[in-house]
A and B are shown apart, each in its own frame.
Chain A
Amino acid sequence: DTEVTQTPKHLVMGMTNKKSLKCEQHMGHRAMYWYKQKAKKPPELMFVYSYEKLSINESVPSRFSPECPNSSLLNLHLHALQPEDSALYLCASSQGFLRVGNTIYFGEGSWLTVV
């Protein structure tokens, strides 16, 4: 069983809607991530939070707005999305820096369809 929990698993939203994706981990990890994965493509990093502060924003459009309310929770607020934003959104967490041997754990993902 994954220790990173994402909700909802499936979301269909219109281009004028506002919705949020939620992610939760209880492993005491201090880094949390959002990735976007299009069909038949590898995951692409969107955002990284470290100690609840935004550490990396990979030039993501402002219609995606991340939020880290506390060390266990990570949200991705969605507004005025386009159909091309339809994808699998993956949340992940790690104890800290990946380069020093910390393992990254992924959630099961949220499948988003924009109509």
Chain B
Amino acid sequence: GIQVEQSPPDLILQEGANSTLRCNFSDSVNNLQWFHQNPWGQLINLFYIPSGTKQNGRLSATTVATERYSLLYISSSQTTDSGVYFCAAITGGFKTIFGAGTRLFVKA
């Protein structure tokens, strides 16, 4: 089956810093999503991005489908950005294959 790999596994930032999270996938996918899981467990959908670039406030994402990777950019990080960031490949109609996640801690 398809493999989804994320890097780095852990990241500690000082508030205000910028960061880039990477997601590689082993095969063609129907689509790709980025999620943020807050410390209380809720998964929030950040981007649905099969290709190209999208921006939402301080966050932006780029997917290069032909090269099988996606990047999530966080600018001017805030403590509320802490949590786990997952990318997930969509295969078939309903299946979502999650990567292992990047654990982000933003220090005040």
Contacts and interface: CB of A to CB of B under 8 A. Distances in A.
A42 B9 CA distance: 12
A105 B98 CA distance: 15
A29 to B, nearest CB: 12
Interface in B69-108: 86, 90-96, 98-101
Interface of B: 30-31, 33, 35, 40-45, 48, 86, 90-96, 98-101
B98 A97 contact: no
Contacts of B86: 42-43
Contacts of B31: 98-99, 101
Interface string A96-110: 011101011111110
Interface of A: 2, 31, 33, 37, 41-45, 48, 50, 55-56, 88, 90, 92, 94, 97-99, 101, 103-109, 111
13 contacts: A2-B42, A42-B100, A45-B94, A45-B95, A92-B43, A94-B94, A101-B31, A104-B33, A106-B44, A106-B45, A108-B40, A108-B41, A109-B41
Nearest to A102: B48
Given A98-B31, A99-B90, A88 B41 contact: yes
A83 B86 CA distance: 26
A104 B42 contact: no
